A = this chain, B = another copy of it.
Amino acid sequence: MTQTKIATEKEFLEYVKKMQHLNEAIGLMYWDLRTGAPKKGVEQRSEVIGTLSSDVFAMSTSDEMKAFINELSKPDIYDSLSHVTQKTLDEVKKDFERNAKIPPAEFKEYVILQSKAESIWEEAKNNSDFSLFQPYLEKLVEFNKRFIGYWGYEGNKYNTLLDMYEPGITVEILDDVFSKLRESIVPLLQKVTDAPQPETKFLFEHFPKEKQKEFSLHVLKEMGYDFNSGRLDETVHPFAIGLNPGDVRVTTKYMENDFRTAVFGTIHEGGHALYEQNISQELIGTPLCSGTSMGIHESQSLFWENFIGRHKGFWKNHYSMLQQCGGSQFNGVELDDYYRAINIVEPSLIRIEADEMTYPLHVIVRYEIEKGLFNDEIEVKDLPRIWNEKMNEYLGVTPDSDANGVLQDVHWSGGSFGYFPSYALGYIYAAQLKNAMIEAMPDFDQMVEQGNLLPIKQWLTENIHQYGKTKKPIEILKDVTGESLNPDYLISYFKAKYSEIYRLNS
């Protein structure tokens, strides 16, 4: 039996490696489409991506995969597998069970609906007309309700959706954590908006693109981003993509009338990229070779963007270089003025343009709506009204149109329900991890001020990056911090930072 086990384990690993190879080819085509593929080739390239994606999906639900899972899951065999094979098996098994439970005809119908809904959403958003999108959104919600029926759920139906993006996180946890967060942020936000605002006019003056690029490249290098394992390109919507740990690409966007887009966007994507570049080499060729969850990934990008990139010490060290790159716009702008300007807090309508303090409130609005939809407490037809009410209640702003309200995000049109909470979880995780880091490296502030960032990257690699998907989000959190999810660190951070910036006498 040992012989057979070894043969099967090896064949299984070859099988999943092939899936990863197809995924890597798909990833490169995706990157290429966004960084300069000729437009007349796009339709044909999309077909190629479709062919390879179907192959991966077919492999994940094939009889061969089923046989591997059945054989290797036998307790005596499972126990004898390597740790990596065990975790790989767990991962593909979860996918298999999820995918196999949906009747194929129904899944096909759903895929067609998704692609139609995305283009209808775009039209609805352009016309700011929710009624166009409503019937599609209703169907998407219906489908996902039926899927939850197939998959089953524990505690709350919405938990099954959350589990796709953030395994281990439930409604019970989020209700608790998000209400604490909301109850702290809302009054703090009130004080901040009542206080005098920093001067920001200089942010919007002309900053040459080439100089923004020079600064961005410099910062990526300092973060420890390895240019022998990556490259920086320009796109309309910035992203980072890990094809394998030796090829993790970052893109950014240069706006000559607002350098913050490139500077903070590059640091943010660089944070994602450091994660993917530093996953253990032994996970290459398995589905474990990527970030463990959306939320933990976001914790890495936000850690760098906010805790490093918006840290006063970071700018003590970098402001003069930025001034040289940007030129006269910084004349008369002292370091402290600059620091306050890049940390301005302003309630606004659009999630992706929000500052770090109001951002979680945007996510909470979406979370509450999604939870209501899947527990039959909210109907799709009422979404515009409910959206606007919640925005007014939490942020004190009311959308002037559905385009700037309920229609602003693409996620729902693709059937991605349960995804939004990961964005806020990223902030909470990041603050918790930072606290653990400071305990390990008490001179954190000084290191940031001195541009000594490599030990920070090193710490993140040792505690988070290297594990890829072999550890679940909550497992990482517990191993690193000794605690479960805890929003207090983020709340304390907001209070301390913004009391200083806005000179509140709290």
Contact = CB atoms under 8 A, between A and B. Distances in A.
Nearest to A41: B247
A129 to B, nearest CB: 32
A41 B226 contact: no
Task: Give chain A's interface secondary structure class.
Answer: helix
A228 B29 contact: no
B24 A246 contact: no
Contacts of A44: 24, 244, 246-247, 284
Most chain B beta carbons < 10 A, residue from A48, A52, A243: A48
Contacts of A244: 41, 44-45
B229 A38 contact: yes
A228 B24 CA distance: 26
Interface residues of A, number: 37
A24, A29, A43, A245: most-surrounded residue (chain B CB, <10 A):
A24
A28 interface: yes
A227 interface: yes
A471 interface: no
Contacts of A28: 25, 28-29, 32
Given A44-B247, A51-B18, A228 B39 contact: yes
A40 interface: yes
A247 B36 CA distance: 11
Q: Which 3 A-B pairs have the closest CB atoms?
A: A41-B247, A40-B246, A41-B246
Contact of A38 (B29, B41, B246): B246
A76 interface: no
A397 interface: no
Interface of A: 17-18, 21-22, 24-25, 28-29, 32, 36-45, 47-48, 51-52, 226-231, 243-249, 284
Contacts of A245: 40
B40 A226 contact: yes
Contacts of A18: 51
B36 A231 contact: yes
Given A25-B29, A36-B231, A39-B246, 6 more contacts: A22-B52, A24-B45, A28-B32, A32-B32, A38-B228, A38-B249
A51 B21 CA distance: 7
A426 to B, nearest CB: 26
A37 B47 CA distance: 24
Nearest to A247: B41
Contact of A243 (B36, B41, B43, B248): B41
A247 B22 CA distance: 21
A44 B289 CA distance: 13
B42 A246 contact: yes
A52 B25 contact: yes
A28 to B, nearest CB: 6
